[in-house]
Amino acid sequence: MRAALRAFGELGITAGLIILLFCAYLLWGTGAYTVQQQTVLRRQLIQEFREKRPAPLGGIRLGGAMALLRIPRLGHDYRYAIVEGVGPEQLRMGPGHYPGSAMPGKIGNFVLSGHRTTYAAPFNRIGELRRGDAIVVDAPEARYTYRVTGTRVVMPTEIGVIAPVPDMPGRKPTDALITLSTCHPEYSAAQRLIVFGELDSSRKRRR
């Protein structure tokens, strides 16, 4: 009996260590991958900024860098290269742009999705944003500053929030909007936390 209890205890400790190591990998190991990818993507963007290279006619390839995201309320060092696409591979690299949604600064809804807990958790703190906060998007051709207009928690099935006119599918857009989406609550995908904003100003890059 004692031997069985000892063996059971040792198995429990081993299982606990494995779970602990796995959690550490999810929180920090995946972040190291994203940091590495972000370094490459930001270099790509810097080169495009220097050349003021327009978006390709066929669109940006999946996983390609399209703009730099900055949110002042989340800190001076908060900056992420936005990638094209919201599939698992793209979101491991950083915040992703929904293909088919508006491009930065354009009429329609510029929709971004990002992880909240793993892969550097770029959208971990977007719940702290308040009405009027700036969301700055640096694209090769210009800098676009959006202002937060509201937040909401929705079910994953409520896809109307990413329509060209949020909650009004089928309506033709007349404004340049931005929508940020992430899982809610933390460590769960039961719901989605949504942050809405609208374009406040734009500044073209000097040639």
Domains delineated in the chain? 2-204 (2.40.260.10)
**Greatest CA separation for the chain:** 80
Q: Catalytic residue among 115, 116, 143, 184, which? A: 115
Q: Which of 92, 116, 184, 192 is catalytic?
A: 192
Give the pLDDT score at 146.
98
Paired residues of 95 in beta bridges: none
Q: What is the pLDDT of residue 22?
A: 43
pTM of the predicted model, to two decimals? 0.84
End-to-end CA distance of the chain, in Å? 80
Identify the active-site residue in 70, 92, 183, 184: 183
What angle is formed at CA 124 by the lines to CA 23 and CA 74, rounded to 5 degrees? 135
What is the gyration radius of the CA atoms in the chain, in angstroms?
20
pLDDT at 73: 97
The CA distance from 31 to 125, in Å, is 15
Output the pLDDT for position 50.
79
Give 176's Cβ-side CA count (13 Å radius). 15
> What pLDDT is attached to residue 60?
87
- Respond yes or no: is residue 115 known to be catalytic: yes
- Tell me what pLDDT residue 18 has: 46
**pLDDT score at 25:** 46
Q: For position 9, what pLDDT does the model report?
A: 52
The amino acid sitting at 109 is N
How far is residue 30's CA from residue 121's CA, in Å, rounded to a whole number? 9
Handedness of CA 45, 47, 50, 53 (dihedral sign): negative
Taking the chain (207 residues) in consecutive chunks of 10 residues, what is each chunk's mean pLDDT? 54 47 52 92 87 67 94 96 97 96 97 95 97 97 97 96 95 97 94 98 84
- Please name the residue ranges forming H helices in 2-144: 2-24, 30-51, 88-91
